[in-house]
């Protein structure tokens, strides 16, 4: 841990009870509401040291939360990294081999290389391709003002700005924005 990094003082839930999933993928749970609506996926554990999303999904599953309309999928994404967490080295469990956030281009997903993180991303890809909305929950280890993150697409920036307005975030962090 660096001198500037505060200790992570929250309990990490035991996610093993959610390992079987119900959607044909480990640690992925899908529930359909009675009415029509969008398919929303809420993802935790893009990075193994970002426990807040795992706490939220663990709570939703434990409380048997179900949508009234549409479909809700709850996904613990990079469980392999999470299982390696070491409080003495929180950044050491951010990923297993490579950053899960940087795997989502066709060139990488369809390319020849292999890693534990890439194997999991490839397994989740068909699920992600079939959802209408994806909310990727991250948590910060270092102190920073509240923020909403966006990718490279204009719609991501627009969504992050809307979340910023509703949730009280002070900043929107975006990669270089393309126009598609």
Question: Which domains can be identified in the chain, with CATH numbers?
Answer: 27-143 (3.40.630.10), 146-180 (no CATH)
pTM: 0.82
pLDDT at 147: 67
Q: How confident is the model at residue 176 (pLDDT cuts 50, 70, 90)?
A: low
For residues 120 and 47, what is the distance between their CA atoms, to the nearest angstrom? 12
The answer to whether residue 3 scores a pLDDT higher than 60 is: no
Question: Which tens digits make up the pLDDT trace of 51-79?
Answer: 889 999 999 999 999 999 999 999 999 99
Contact 49, 90 (CB under 8 A): yes
The answer to whether residue 17 scores a pLDDT higher than 80 is: yes
Torsion angle (degrees, nearest 10) of CA 43, 27, 74, 160: 0
């Amino acid at each position: 841990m660096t001198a500037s990094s505060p200790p992570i003082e929250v309990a990490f839930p035991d996610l093993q009870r959610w390992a079987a999933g119900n959607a044909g993928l480990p640690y992925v749970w899908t529930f359909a509401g009675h009415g029509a609506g969008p398919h929303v996926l809420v993802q935790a554990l893009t990075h193994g040291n970002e426990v807040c999303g795992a706490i939220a999904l663990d709570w939703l599953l434990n409380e048997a939360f179900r949508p009234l309309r549409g479909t809700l999928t709850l996904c613990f994404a990079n469980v392999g990294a999470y299982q390696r967490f070491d409080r003495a080295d929180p950044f050491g469990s951010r990923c297993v081999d490579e950053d899960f956030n940087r795997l989502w281009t066709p060139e990488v997903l369809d390319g020849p290389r292999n890693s534990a993180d890439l194997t999991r991303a490839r397994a989740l890809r068909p699920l992600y391709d079939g959802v209408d909305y994806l909310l990727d929950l991250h948590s910060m280890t270092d102190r920073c003002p509240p923020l909403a993150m966006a990718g490279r697409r204009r719609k991501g920036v627009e969504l992050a700005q809307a979340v910023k307005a509703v949730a009280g975030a002070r900043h929107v962090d975006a990669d270089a924005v393309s126009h598609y």
